[in-house]
Amino acid sequence: MNPSLSNPFMSVVIRSYNRLNYVLELVERCLNQDYDNYEIVVLDQSDDTHWEEHKQAFGLLDQKVRVIRTRPRGSAAARNFGVIVSRGEVVLLMDDDDLPVRDDWISAHARHYEDPLCIGVSGKCLKRIDESVPYKNKQLAYERCLTYSFFLRGKDFTGIDEVKKPVRWLHGLNASIRRSYVVELGGWYPYINNFDEHSFCFKLQKVMKPGEYLMFDPKPVVLRRFDIPGGLGKRQLPLPQLLENQLLYYHRVVAEYYPFRFYSLYPIFMLYAFKYITRWFRGFSYFTDSIWFRWFEKKNALRLYFLQEFIKYPFLVIRVLLMKKPKWEGSLTIPEVEYYEFRAGKLS
């Protein structure tokens, strides 16, 4: 049985890559919370020049802030690293382009861990600070919140205003979880470049005991800032890279936990992957570095670009299918020599 944590020590883990000016704003929000029992772990993967530009500002912050400098690791590996160097009983995950909206953000997560059956909590995400519930059918949105489609795509719907318990997965941001589960299960699978939060949640669902649960609570609210430059730059990636990322998720994660469904419907999964990624690309991508975008207006350029990549797509599928899957087993352990720690409150 997990311990009841009435006042858990929380580790706010922030991954960052060349966005330290925005991280400073995020850290200031975290330092003005109504909860006292916590630390802030900034996992900085920025280049040396970017770090030197902001080092002095971090040195002036409260000693609750720890900056861990390490090489770029990718999304899942960075999250794993942040967890293993943190000291909290509960880790609260955050990205460098997001902001807590209220001063009860940490406490809104922490209060749930008094229940020993609560394993993790996801909070509400807004695209605009004045955003109301964005769903026409609120009941359907509630039912779909943090569930999976038949093709194992995570359904979000984290703009609802009701508590939901249980849910099937947790976001990679504005989500908290008992640290011991992450460490013991080995964290998130680091050899994929997207959808990595599901690799941990699939594994977690298999070991959770009867009565244990993940939940959604709309009280801890975060503003997602999609217009911030830098970071991993997913919205600037070309379509072939996005397709490969989706295929790696299917072949290395879904195939591991749902092998019968995946391989028995393999052609359908592959077609679905192409449809899903092109739909996302049409709505969210900023990529225009293709000859089609120089010759045609956007609508026709997208059609020709999608046709080009669809013709090449079978060869990409075969290449990913034949790739050797790296193993990721055991608990999280990271040698100290791979990073160094800069403590806030001390200029050095």
| CA dist., res. 170 & res. 157, Å (int) | 12
Beta strands in 45-174 (DSSP E): 65-70, 90-95, 98-100, 118-126, 147-148, 154-155, 164-167
For residue 238, give Cα distances in angstroms to 18, 244, 282. Answer: 21, 10, 12
Helix 266-284, helix 239-249: angle, nearest 10: 140
Q: How far is CA 169 from CA 90, 146, 274, 278, 310, in A?
A: 17, 6, 23, 24, 31
Please say whether the beta carbons of 45 and 74 come within 8 A.
Answer: no
| 302-326 average pLDDT score | 97
Read off the pLDDT of residues 192-203 as tens digits, 9 standing for 90 and up: 988 889 999 999
Average pLDDT over residues 14-26: 93
What structural domains does the chain harbor? 10-229+329-343 (3.90.550.10), 234-322 (no CATH)
Q: Which helix (H) or strand (E) holds 179?
A: helix 179-185
Instruction: Answer for the pair 222, 100: CB distance below 8 angstroms, yes or no.
Output: yes
Backbone angles phi, psi at 246, to 5 degrees: -65, -40
pLDDT of residue 235: 77
* Range 316-334 average pLDDT: 91
Distance CA 262, CA 267 (A): 9
**150 or 339, which is more confident:** 150
Q: Which two tokens stand for residue 180?
A: 């011991």
C-alpha torsion angle, residues 158, 159, 160, 164 (rounded to 10):
20
The CB density around residue 290, as the number of other CB atoms within 10 Å, is 16
- Other Cβ atoms less than 10 A from the Cβ of 279: the count is 10
Residue 230 or residue 149, greater confidence:
149
- 44-64 confidence digits (pLDDT tens): 999 999 999 999 998 888 899
* Nearest C-alpha neighbor of 15 from the set 60, 81, 64: 81
Whole-number percent of the chain with pLDDT over 70? 96
Q: Provide the pLDDT for residue 348.
A: 41
Of residues 197, 104, 193, the one with CA closest to residue 146: 197
Give the pLDDT confidence score for residue 147 in this predicted structure: 97
For residue 85, the one-letter residue type is V
Q: What is the CA radius of gyration of the chain?
A: 21
Query: Are 192 and 245 spatial neighbours (Cβ–Cβ below 8 Å)?
Result: yes
| Confidence (pTM) | 0.92
pLDDT over 50 (residue 32)? yes
User: What is the pLDDT at residue 127?
Assistant: 87
CA distances to 15, 83, 91 from 331, rounded to whole Å, are 21, 12, 16
Lowest-pLDDT range, 113-122, 193-202, 213-222, 247-256?
Answer: 193-202
